[in-house]
Structures are given as structure tokens and as C-alpha cells.
């Protein structure tokens, strides 16, 4: 097989394309410290062969993977966890306390995903979702610090995108592995070394207040870089934090206005989000044509619209 795209960074960090949906959409990060290593997120069942090939090329035997970290358990991040754990005999799976039961018994994850995608599309996107032995799972409580060969990795609770989400502060690289908490940034939108970042409001646990708080908590550590699952390393974090806060508020305002006007379904919201992000990307200096931007954003915008609608309907029921 052809190896997936990978990017080697300093401090023993490597990004591996998870081969989910399209190249450059989702990454898995490998942290190497001496003769030990860890994965941050796993992609899907179909990500496994490519990652194993990269490990072989780097001469990292499976028994040297000592941790698999899941920032959260949305299936583009965690779908391959069970299969990887069956291949890494010495690894512990580190997950948010709210996610533990779903790793031991993934039946509810599978059922809900099949309801969204249909069984055929689910199998095509995610393949098999395998359980993990409870004895091999570590709960990442807030402020848990794991030492991997003397490398300090700090886990902080970061809800907003999902209630079962944590981020990892890597002291050695002065960086965070942020999953989806610090947004999405595709390399196709980079201009002159500056990235464009936008929030992800995937259903069903988006909470704008928590999202703002989690971004601020990340920035309180003054990190140099963030390693996003979508897609890998970004700098300029102070700039991006301001933009993320601004876009979260704009998302909420747009969605609330459309909802209050009685618009049904997500068609109007998708159109407004598409126009907002396209304007922002073009102002950023990106020279891609509108149809190219739409193509890259299509899946994200639809998911963002669904998450915003779910949040609004949930809030409306509480009133």
C-alpha cells in the first residue's frame, strides 16, 4: 500500500493523514519520546494500515506504543481506537471520564451514527468499531499529568465542542493537541504562512459559552502551537483565538436570527454560514474560487448548521 501523507515536526511530533473522507481533512498525531510513543486520536478503522506502515518506516514496534489518547470520541477521532488497541499490547487508552463507557461498549455510538449516516454510509466511512477492555482504559480527569518517558503531558477538560473533550498540553513543545476545541484549519486556506481557523459546532453537544471558556483556558498557557485534528499544526494562536471568539458569536447570532424568523430546516442557515466563511476566507487573502471554497467547507458547514440548530432547539425547550 502507499503510505499516507505525513509531516515531521520538531520535538518528536509527526502528523499522519487519517485518510478520512479526503486527504488533508483529518490527522492523527504521533508523539515520540525516546523508545516510547503515543497516538493522539486514531481516525477510523480504515486509518489503521496507513499508521502501521508509518510506524514501521520509523522503526517503532507496536509494543512501544504506550498510550492512545482520544481528545474526544466523535468517530473521525476515535473510530479506530479499538482496532489500534488490539495491535498495541502495551498501550493504555486515555479518554475523558464521560467517554469511558462508550469505549467499553460502543453499541450506542454505532447506533446513533447509523441513524445519522445509514448503515451503508456508516460502514463505508467508519468500518468496524471495536470495544476496548476496561482494564486498559485510563480516565483523563481534569489536570491529570502523564509522564511518558519523562515527557509531561497535561490533560485539561475542554467542553464546548463536546462534553467528553479534553486537550493535551505538551510542555516539551509548548503546544496543545486540541482535537476540535481550537477549531478547524485546512492547509488549502493558508496564505503566506498564515492560517485561517474557524469553529466547529458539530451536533449534539455544542455550547458556545463553554467553547469560549475552553479557548481562553488553552490560551492561558501561552502555547506556541496548536495541533488540530483538522488539520495539524498552526501558530499565531493569539490572532486565531480572537477570530474564533468572533466567529462563534457570529454563528450564534446568524442561527438565532434565522430560528426566530421561523425558518424550518437548515437550508437558510447553511447558506448564511457558507457566505460568512467564504467572505472571511477571501478577506484572509485566499485566491481559491468560490466553488473550490464551498467544496472544501461543505461537510463542515452542514455539520455546523445541524449542531447550531440542535443547540437552539435544546435551549428553546428549557425556556
Is the bond preceding residue 59 a cis peptide, omega within 30 degrees? no
Q: What is the CA radius of gyration of the chain?
A: 19
At 193-252, the pLDDT tens digits run: 999 999 999 999 999 999 999 999 999 999 999 999 999 999 999 999 999 999 999 999
Residue 141 included in any domain? yes
Strand order in the sheet with 13-17: 6-8, 13-17, 27-33, 36-40, 65-69, 92-95, 137-139
Residue 84 included in any domain? yes
Q: Is-contact 92 137, C-beta < 8 A? A: yes
Q: Is the pLDDT of residue 307 over 80?
A: yes
Q: pLDDT exceeding 90 applies to what percent of the chain? A: 92
Q: Is-contact 26 79, C-beta < 8 A? A: no
Q: How confident is the model at residue 2, as a pLDDT?
A: 61
Q: How confident is the model at residue 281, as a pLDDT?
A: 98
Based on the structure, what is the number of domains in the chain?
2
Which of 220-224, 265-269, 270-274 is predicted with the least confidence, judged by mean pLDDT?
A: 265-269
Q: Is-contact 149 170, C-beta < 8 A? A: no
CATH code at position 124: 3.60.15.10
- Please count the other Cβ atoms lying within 10 Å of the Cβ belonging to residue 126: 22
247 and 222, same structural domain?
no
- 261 pLDDT band, cuts 50/70/90, is confident
Q: How confident is the model at residue 151, as a pLDDT?
A: 99
Q: How confident is the model at residue 262, as a pLDDT?
A: 78
Q: Is the pLDDT of residue 315 over 90?
A: no
Q: Is-contact 279 254, C-beta < 8 A? A: no
The position carrying cell 505538551 is: 170
Residue 1 included in any domain? no
282 and 215, same structural domain?
no
Q: Is the pLDDT of residue 102 over 90?
A: yes
Distances (CA, A) of 234 to 35, 54, 141, 213: 27, 22, 26, 20
Residue 294 included in any domain? yes
Residue 153 included in any domain? yes
220 and 117, same structural domain?
yes
283 and 213, same structural domain?
no
Judged by DSSP in three states, 190 sits in: coil
Phi, psi values for residue 219, rounded to 5°: -70, -20
153 and 127, same structural domain?
yes
169 and 108, same structural domain?
yes
106 and 85, same structural domain?
yes
Q: Is-contact 157 167, C-beta < 8 A? A: no
Q: How confident is the model at residue 115, as a pLDDT?
A: 84
225 and 247, same structural domain?
no
Q: In whole angstroms, what is the distance from residue 191 CA to residue 77 CA?
A: 27
> What is the extent of the structural domain holding 309?
242-318
Q: Is-contact 3 50, C-beta < 8 A? A: yes
Secondary structure (DSSP) of 1-43: -PPPPEEE-STTEEEEE---SSTTS-EEEEEEETTEEEEE---
Residue 71 included in any domain? yes
At 45-97, the pLDDT tens digits run: 999 999 999 999 999 999 999 999 999 999 999 999 999 999 999 999 999 99
Q: Is-contact 230 25, C-beta < 8 A? A: yes
Residue 152 included in any domain? yes
Which of 16-30, 68-82, 104-118, 162-176 is predicted with the least confidence, judged by mean pLDDT?
A: 104-118
Going by DSSP bridges, is the β-strand pair 13-17/27-33 parallel, antiparallel, or unpaired?
antiparallel
Tell me, rounded to whole angstroms, the distance of Cα 146 from its chain centroid. 21
Q: What integer best gives the mean pLDDT of the chain?
A: 96
The C-alpha cell of 211 is what?
Answer: 467553547
Q: Is the pLDDT of residue 297 over 70?
A: yes
270 and 144, same structural domain?
no
226 and 130, same structural domain?
yes
Q: In whole angstroms, what is the distance from residue 1 CA to residue 23 CA?
A: 16
Residue 120 included in any domain? yes
Q: Is the pLDDT of residue 179 over 60?
A: yes
210 and 94, same structural domain?
yes
178 and 37, same structural domain?
yes
Q: In whole angstroms, what is the distance from residue 280 CA to residue 245 CA?
A: 14
Amino acid at each position: 500500500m502507499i503510505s499516507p501523507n505525513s509531516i515531521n515536526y520538531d520535538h518528536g511530533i509527526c502528523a499522519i493523514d487519517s485518510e478520512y473522507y479526503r486527504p488533508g481533512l483529518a490527522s492523527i498525531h504521533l508523539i515520540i519520546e525516546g523508545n516510547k510513543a503515543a497516538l493522539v486520536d486514531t481516525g477510523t478503522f480504515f486509518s489503521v494500515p496507513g499508521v502501521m506502515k508509518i510506524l514501521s518506516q520509523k522503526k517503532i514496534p507496536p509494543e512501544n506504543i504506550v498510550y492512545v489518547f482520544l481528545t474526544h470520541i466523535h468517530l473521525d477521532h476515535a473510530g479506530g481506537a479499538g482496532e489500534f488497541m488490539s495491535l498495541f499490547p502495551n498501550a493504555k487508552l486515555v479518554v475523558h471520564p464521560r467517554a469511558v463507557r462508550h469505549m467499553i461498549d460502543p453499541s450506542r455510538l454505532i447506533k446513533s451514527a447509523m441513524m445519522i449516516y445509514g448503515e451503508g454510509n456508516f460502514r463505508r466511512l467508519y468500518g468496524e468499531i471495536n470495544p476496548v477492555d476496561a482494564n486498559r482504559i485510563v480516565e483523563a480527569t481534569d489536570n491529570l499529568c502523564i509522564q511518558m518517558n519523562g515527557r509531561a503531558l497535561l490533560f485539561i477538560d475542554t467542553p464546548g465542542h463536546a462534553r467528553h473533550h479534553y486537550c493535551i498540553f505538551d510542555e516539551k513543545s509548548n503546544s496543545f493537541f486540541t482535537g476540535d476545541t481550537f477549531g478547524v484549519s485546512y492547509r488549502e486556506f493558508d496564505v503566506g504562512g498564515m492560517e485561517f481557523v474557524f469553529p466547529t459546532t458539530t451536533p449534539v453537544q455544542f455550547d458556545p459559552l463553554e467553547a469560549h471558556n475552553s479557548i481562553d483556558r488553552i490560551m492561558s498557557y501561552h502555547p506556541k502551537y496548536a495541533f488540530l485534528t483538522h488539520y495539524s499544526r498552526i501558530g499565531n494562536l493569539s490572532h486565531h483565538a480572537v477570530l474564533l471568539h468572533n466567529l462563534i458569536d457570529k454563528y450564534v447570532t446568524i442561527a438565532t436570527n434565522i430560528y426566530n424568523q421561523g425558518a424550518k430546516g437548515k437550508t437558510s442557515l447553511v447558506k448564511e454560514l457558507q457566505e460568512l466563511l467564504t467572505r472571511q476566507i477571501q478577506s484572509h487573502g485566499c485566491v481559491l474560487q468560490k466553488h473550490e471554497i464551498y467544496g472544501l467547507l461543505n461537510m463542515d458547514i452542514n455539520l455546523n448548521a445541524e449542531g447550531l440548530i440542535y443547540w437552539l432547539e435544546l435551549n428553546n425547550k428549557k425556556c
